[in-house]
Structure 1
Amino acid sequence: MVWNEKLAMYLKTKGISQKEAGKRLDTSTSMMSRYLTGKDKVNSDFIIKLLKVFPDIDLRSIFSDEPPNLKENDFYDPPREINVINELEIIEKKITLIKEYLAQKSHNEK
């Protein structure tokens, strides 16, 4: 299962339509469709919005090459007390990992 399918599954488990996701993420419905079908790759701005709008999303589960365990909770980080500085550091690390992953994937496709 690839990232776009995992993201679509995450939204489905949350009961969020493609149109609603687009509104929440300030992205057009057609662009959401392109992301969710894998026709377009997401950029770091979209990933940041994704983390802000859906703070419980586990990007490692979404963007890893590991096959997902298809239980609903697999795409969630457990709730915890929020430390803003710590959360920003975690987000920066996640963005770095995603950029590295996308760069490696792009390199492998050439």
Structure 2
Amino acid sequence: PLAKDLSEGDLRKIAAYFAAKPWPVRRASAKPPSPPKGIAQCQACHQPNFQGGMPAPRLAGLSYEYLIAAMRAFATEERTNNLDMPKFMQMLSERERNAFARYLSAL
């Protein structure tokens, strides 16, 4: 919606600006934390090593902040684009969701 009124030339300038920016440097974790209890069942949809694919997206390496926000949104049913995720996230405590997010963001 925001970009629909921009000219083709402006869009190209914006694209060139972002294309020239360097990727953020990821902190190298010496060793990912141990997998939290219960996270293995997530691999049924999010694939081995949480790399994603059908039917669910990649989770490995996403930011802790994004993962926490997404899990909370599913738990409170603010996010409902997947019918199974709200029920699953509601079964987890906030502490368990935090542990999942810490683990996944370190992969």
TM-score, normalised to structure 2, is 0.31
More helix per residue: 1 or 2?
1
| Bigger Cα Rg | 2
